[in-house]
Copies of this chain bind each other. A is one copy, B any other.
Amino acid sequence: MNSQPPSKIPEEFAASAGYMLNQTAQVIAEMVTEALKPLKLAPQEYGVMRVISISGPVSQQTFADRYNIDRTMVTGLVDGLEKRGYVDRQRSTTDRRVNLMHLTPLGKRALTQAVRSVKKAQAEFLAPLTDEEWEATRLSLVKLLEAHRPI
């Protein structure tokens, strides 16, 4: 959707890992935020639902660890999702301190839509790269993250 001819980034910036990663992360974050806006989902709310759907019912603490945010933030996220009927909390029977978050059928349907929108945004974001280029980039990012942030 960008019809202007792309201009060159000064090489000193292009050489900076911090600048390049932060700027590109900001671009995709904006695109995903926009993609989720019609569904009235914030990126972090989408994150909650994705984590549940992928990893099965998880505790709020587990989600906080995975997204590297504080557990005090998760309370409000789940509140909002529960109010909309997308998620519910169920006390763990094996450790009754723990709230296991579950996707409701309504939440599953909303998530299906959201995943579709996010995938579309991601495809648009990655369009300038060949599949091979992105795959190589992705693998490097995985290496970096696994080395520096073991879960």
Contact = CB atoms under 8 A, between A and B. Distances in A.
A111 to B, nearest CB: 12
Number of copies of this kind of chain in the complex:
2
Interface string A92-119: 0000000000000000000000000010
**Interface majority SS (helix, strand, loop, mixed), chain A:** helix
Contacts of A133: 136, 140, 143
What class of interface size applies to chain A in its complex with B?
35 or more
A90 interface: no
Given A25-B21, A28-B22, A29-B22, A144 B122 contact: no
Interface in A31-88: 31-32, 43, 50, 54-55, 66, 68
A17 to B, nearest CB: 5
A148 B150 CA distance: 31
Given A9-B142, A20-B141, 18 more contacts: A9-B145, A9-B151, A12-B54, A14-B142, A17-B28, A18-B28, A18-B122, A21-B21, A21-B24, A22-B25, A23-B145, A125-B144, A128-B143, A133-B143, A134-B140, A136-B136, A137-B140, A137-B141
